[in-house]
Amino acid sequence: MSPTPVKVAVTGAAGQIGYSLLFRIASGALLGPDTPVELRLLEITPALGALEGVVMELDDCAFPLLSKVEIGDDAETIFDGVNLALLVGARPRTKGMERGDLLEANGAIFTAQGKALNKVAADDVRIGVTGNPANTNALIAMSNAPDIPRERFSALTRLDHNRGLSQLAKKAGVTVSEIKKLTIWGNHSATQYTDIFHAEINGQNAAEVVNDQAWIADTFIPTVAKRGAAIIEARGSSSAASAASATIDAGRDWLTGSPEGDWVSMAVVSDGSYGVPEGLIYSYPVITRNGDWEIVQGLEIDDFSRAKMDATAAELVEERDAVKALGLIG
Ligand SMILES: NC(=O)C1=CN([C@@H]2O[C@H](COP(=O)(O)OP(=O)(O)OC[C@H]3O[C@@H](n4cnc5c(N)ncnc54)[C@H](O)[C@@H]3O)[C@@H](O)[C@H]2O)C=CC1
Ligand SMILES: O=C([O-])CC(=O)C(=O)O
């Protein structure tokens, strides 16, 4: 066992996603079976009582890897020295609400947390944003943390990626592990684009295996894009266990590497690759190694994909301009 525990901050720790996420982190699902973890849990003051209850349950699990748990409502205290910050806490979308409505409500949270991370996080910190609107919240946090390299911020599109794998596996009559190189492009919103034109099913081109453009365009892509809304409709509240699971998948692969011969989808700061405006937090196909990521280059983009990639970029430009107008980013 490595002697120094990795310090992992989770915000919104008393929320729905937190209730699933914390137990998986503490059990070793994020950092592996040999790495002890110290949890730093941030909540708003009125939720601290409920969070104490969650910590009692963490105690009751007697996780061998869980070295310490600290809770609080002060970001600078909780983020002090953290190596990984999972920013989950935000106001969730409720029925009939679009992500645009959430920008203002959440802007203030991510401004303050970006500043706090900038001040007190460890030099090697990585920051993953799950709270919606995730891409633009990550942009706000990044913009308010000028001393943290921009590539240390990402927003979660791994849930969309996993949803795409599962829908495609059903259609093709295969298991998810037989599918590789699926891509979510753009925003974690209804404009996201799930691309299977570069994906492979047992080494064969996935779009060719499916051989049904109407299904891809009219069923598959919208089903993945609107899955969050479908879960809200069915459950009465937004995805929680699956969002926690995707947060674990994304964090684990970022720190320890994406699988050989495959890539993962991750919203990261654009360097202009694939014609996406520089500086947006845009989901790309990425390969990760030891806490670094690299955008997969050289994929051929046809007119169908181009239009969808541009539409989701345009939405992110709108969100960026809206938070700029609110004074949340420079
Ligand atoms: N990127 C993705 O794939 C997904 C993102 N989400 C988003 O994740 C977020 C959390 O979802 P749930 O856990 O279901 O919501 P929830 O409402 O159950 O929990 C959110 C928690 O955040 C806390 N919180 C609010 N402001 C805070 C602050 N300033 N600092 C620390 N904590 C704060 C609240 O007190 C609450 O306990 C939502 O924004 C939701 O839309 C949900 C599913 C998927
Ligand atoms: O749609 C929502 O509000 C929750 C979410 O992000 C998802 O499930 O993808």
Q: What are the tens digits of pLDDT across the range 27-55?
A: 999 999 999 999 999 999 999 999 999 99
List the catalytic residue out of 158, 180, 181, 188.
188
Tell the residue nearest (CA) to atom 19 of ligand 1.
15
Contact 170, 136 (CB under 8 A): no
Q: Which residues of 236-271 are buried (b: 16+ CB within 10 A; e: fewer)?
A: eebbbebbbbbbbbbbbbbbeebeeebbbbbbbbbe
Task: Confirm whether 161 is a catalytic residue.
Answer: no
Distance from the CA of 130 to the center of ligand 1, in angstroms?
Answer: 8
Contact 73, 45 (CB under 8 A): yes
Distance from the CA of 214 to the center of ligand 1, in angstroms?
Answer: 35
Residues having CB closer than 6 A to ligand 2 are 92-93, 132, 159, 228-229, 231, 238-239
Closest ligand, as measured to the CA of 42: 1
Distance from the CA of 12 to the center of ligand 1, in angstroms?
Answer: 5
- pLDDT band (50, 70, 90) for residue 278: very high
Q: Are strands 292-295 and 281-289 parallel, antiparallel or unpaired?
A: antiparallel
- pLDDT band (50, 70, 90) for residue 92: low
Q: Is the dihedral of CA 324, 89, 295, 185 positive or negative?
A: negative
Q: How far apart are CA 218 and CA 199, in angstroms?
A: 18
- pLDDT band (50, 70, 90) for residue 100: low
Tell the residue nearest (CA) to atom 5 of ligand 2.
228
Q: What is the pLDDT of residues 237-265, one digit of tens each?
A: 999 999 999 999 999 999 999 999 999 99
108 is in an annotated binding site: no
Q: Quick check: 290 pLDDT over 80?
A: yes
> Has the ipTM of the complex gone over 0.90?
yes
Contact 275, 263 (CB under 8 A): no
**Mean pLDDT, the chain, as a whole number?**
96
User: What is residue 2's predicted lDDT score, i.e. its pLDDT?
Assistant: 54
**pTM score of the predicted model:** 0.97
Q: Quick check: 1 pLDDT over 60?
A: no
Residue 303: what residue type?
D
Q: What is the pLDDT of residues 213-237, one digit of tens each?
A: 999 999 999 999 999 999 999 999 9
Q: Which residues contact 140 (CB under 8 A, 6 or more apart)?
A: 107, 110, 111, 114, 323, 328, 329
Nearest to 16, CA basis, from 243, 240, 244: 240
Given ligand 2 and candidates 98, 102, 106, 132, which is best to mutate, with the most ligand atoms within 8 Å of its CB? 132
User: What is residue 102's predicted lDDT score, i.e. its pLDDT?
Assistant: 74
SS3 of residue 142 by DSSP:
helix
Q: What is the pLDDT of residues 65-78, one digit of tens each?
A: 999 999 999 999 99
Q: How far apart are CA 154 and CA 259, in angstroms?
A: 19
